[in-house]
Chain A
Amino acid sequence: MKPTLRLAGITTAAALLGLVACSPQRPAPTRATVKETNQRKHAPDFALKDANGKLVHLADFKGKVVLLDFWATWCGPCGIEIPWFTEFERKYKDRGFEVVGVSMDDAGWTAINPFVARKKINYRVVLGDDTTGDEYGGLEALPTTFVIDRDGRIAAVHVGLADKEDFENAIENLLQTPAAPAGVDSARADGTNADGGARSHS
């Protein structure tokens, strides 16, 4: 895998989403501003394997609020957020919330498994790849975290260490909104719009 390629450009994607304000040298903390419903873009679906080799798709979480965290074991700021996400998983799971961690470690499960055990991670962790990184705009920096609404749309994105309270506010906000009724375009996890158009972050 090529982490440099995989990580390339997510800052740009986040900037395009209008949710991130950062300078290259000392970025300000990103805020969990939840976009208005009509400004949200579909989160690309993915098929990534967990530690047991089982394929996990974003579509598996249809109807739930998903916190999708791109991270790596070598990323210090990621290690700060992971206990928050573990807490969120425990606190909100029964209300229709899931955390999915996408590890971008080149070393794969030999690096990830001990870290997961050490951090007592209680949510799904999958191994990322170049394709998924590209689908999410490329990844330049970690952590990069997407908060996805019940209809599979990206409601907020953070690049870099964010504030725990901001995440929690975003989650609470999204959990209070039910999924759109069947037949109403919004949450097509195949990544297309109702008219079949290709997904786009911009």
Chain B
Amino acid sequence: MAPTLTVAPVPTVRTHKGAVATVTFKAALPPGFHANSNTPTDSYLIPLTLKWTGGPLQMDSIVYPKAALEKYSFSDKPLSVVTGAFEITTKFKVPANAPNGASSENGTIRYQACNDRMCFAPKTIPVTFSISVD
């Protein structure tokens, strides 16, 4: 069965216009599986990516989890991967014209997982969090 990346919900982000909001998603892969990091060692490999697709905030930067270099039975050289629990952090700017009150920011995480004998199709999962702008 293909492994599922679990992503914990993020509490509502309370912020104000002109501020910087930092949002961290805590994600986890089941034991025995890995996903390519955001900077895989081979151009053919599909990187872990977070994309923000809609919402009132302006994405400033994304910090991906620190990759581990691990050797697998199918690779001649170590691969840059993430395993187990990890975090992806995004910094947002809150624009001056952001609407007051409640809204949400939406995005997707794309990953491609393997174990040491087989690989699973790339998956794209939605992520979201609620915002309250004063």
Q: Is there a chain B Cβ closer than 8 Å to A148's Cβ?
A: no
Give the distance in Å from the alpha carbon of A78 to the alpha carbon of B121 in the complex: 13
In the A-B complex, the 9 residue pairs with the smallest Cβ-Cβ separation, listed nearest first, are A25-B32, A160-B118, A3-B121, A160-B117, A141-B118, A75-B119, A77-B74, A7-B121, A161-B117
Interface string of B1-37 (1 = CB under 8 A from A): 1110000000000000000000000000011110000
Query: Considering only CB atoms and an 8 Å cut-off, how many residues of chain A contact the other chain?
Result: 31
Contact of B31 among A25, A75, A142 (CB under 8 A): A25
Given the known interface contacts A75-B119, A161-B73, the answer about A25 and B33 at a Cβ–Cβ threshold of 8 Å is yes
Query: B118–A159 contact, CB under 8 A?
Result: yes
Assembly CA distance A140 to B115 (angstroms): 13
* A76 located at the interface, meaning its Cβ lies under 8 Å from any Cβ of chain B in the complex: yes
For chain B, which range describes its interface: under 10, 10 to 19, 20 to 34, or 35 or more residues?
20 to 34
* In the complex, chain A residues 64-122 whose Cβ is within 8 Å of any chain B Cβ: 72-80, 104, 106, 111, 115
- B interface residues with partner A (beta carbon < 8 Å): 1-3, 30-33, 44-46, 72-75, 79, 112, 114-123
- Name which residue of chain A comes closest to B120, CB basis: A141
Find B119's partner among A11, A27, A29, A142 (CB 8 Å cutoff).
A142
Nearest B-chain residue to A78, judged by Cβ? B119
A183 at the interface (CB under 8 A from B): no
Residues A79 and B118 in contact, CB atoms below 8 Å apart: no
Contact A72 B33 (CB under 8 A): no
Please tell me if the beta carbons of B1 and A11 are within 8 angstroms of each other in the complex: yes
Complex interface: chain A residues within 8 A of B72 (CB) = 76
Min CB distance A144 to B, Å, is 8
- Which of B30, B114, B118: most chain A Cβ within 10 A? B118
Contact A76-B74, Cβ < 8 Å, known A24-B1, A26-B115: yes
Asked if A77 and B122 sit within 8 Å, CB to CB, the answer is: no
- For the complex, give the distance between the alpha carbons of A159 and B75 in Å: 18
Are A4 and B123 within 8 A (Cβ)?
Answer: yes
Give A73 to B118 CA distance when docked, in angstroms.
13
